[in-house]
Amino acid sequence: MAEPVTARGDAPLEDMIGEGRRLVDAATRQGVTARLVGGVAVYLKAPPGGPLLPRPIGDIDVTIKRGSRGAFTGILTAAGYVPDEMFNALHGARRLLFYDEVNGRKLDVFVGEFSMCHVIPITDRLDRDPITIPLAELLLTKLQIVELTERDQRDIYSLCYHHHVSSGDGSEIEGDYVAEICARDWGLWRTAKATVERCKANLAGYDLQREQSSLITERLDVLWGLIEQAPKSAKWRLRNRVGDRVKWYAEPEENTTPADQKG
């Protein structure tokens, strides 16, 4: 990843890490709370040397609270972004799409929640980090993917390697919070279960040291143990009776337009 460079005028930066920081800073100056999601957030949560398993980042993902849509749209247009008017008119209550025509990439904005295969409440705790969503929510956005991609698998491994799974102390990956969210939603629990199992099974396919693989496996096991131990809601228990006989996930909205590919 190239080092951040200075933008000419209001043009977006070529470096996506620097550009993500620039957008969050611009929003903060205008009194709007915006935080980074996706690959840029995973990169920023890694040590200075980068994630354990780096991967190309295709775009920038941001989340804002409900009620901030108009203000944030103004911030993005002033920062050099062009809105997808049709997509935003159809999906703007939950998601906005903008284009960086200078660098040929897109910017996704999740409004109020992260809604793809499952709904993740990622804007409830935005004050916990000045740049990205918290680690627990960041990991949940990866665990909720039904058709797990190789890049998302890398993100899960990197997050689990660089951050220990905590329970009740509010630090690192808050496993108890992840468990609480899964305990409310059987569908999310079901997908997370498959994702954790797939990640553990595929770990041997990566060129990692034994200690690195063992640490990732250990933390995935700790996380799943917390998820399983969490008291499940009545709604969860009722849905559990139906099981896989009924589809438990949604098709991501990104499939509605060819240009809308996650990065």
What's the rounded Cα separation, in Å, for the pair 96 and 110? Answer: 7
What's the rounded Cα separation, in Å, for the pair 30 and 136? Answer: 27
Closest CA to 202 of 154, 141, 147: 154
- pLDDT (tens digit, 0 to 9) for every residue of the chain, 263 residues total? 434 333 344 799 999 999 999 999 999 999 999 999 999 999 999 999 999 999 999 999 999 999 999 999 999 999 999 999 999 999 999 999 999 999 999 999 999 999 999 999 999 999 999 999 999 999 999 999 999 999 999 999 999 999 999 988 878 999 999 999 999 999 999 999 999 999 999 999 999 999 999 999 999 999 999 999 999 999 999 999 999 999 999 988 653 433 333 45
User: What is 1-132's CATH number?
Assistant: 3.30.460.10
- What would the DSSP string read from start to end of 73-135? HHHHHHTT-EE-HHHHHHHTTTEEEEEETTTTEEEEEEESSEESSSEE--STTGGG-SSB--H
Contact 182, 176 (CB under 8 A): no
pLDDT at 4 (0 to 100): 39
What's the rounded Cα separation, in Å, for the pair 87 and 17? Answer: 25
What's the rounded Cα separation, in Å, for the pair 259 and 99? Answer: 10
The pair of three-digit structure tokens given for residue 9, joined into one six-digit string: 């005028």
pLDDT at 56 (0 to 100): 95
pLDDT at 170 (0 to 100): 79
Parts of the chain belonging to CATH 3.30.460.10 = 1-132
Strands 82-83 and 119-120, bridge-based pairing? unpaired
The pair of three-digit structure tokens given for residue 64, joined into one six-digit string: 């804002």
pTM of the model: 0.91
pLDDT at 238 (0 to 100): 98
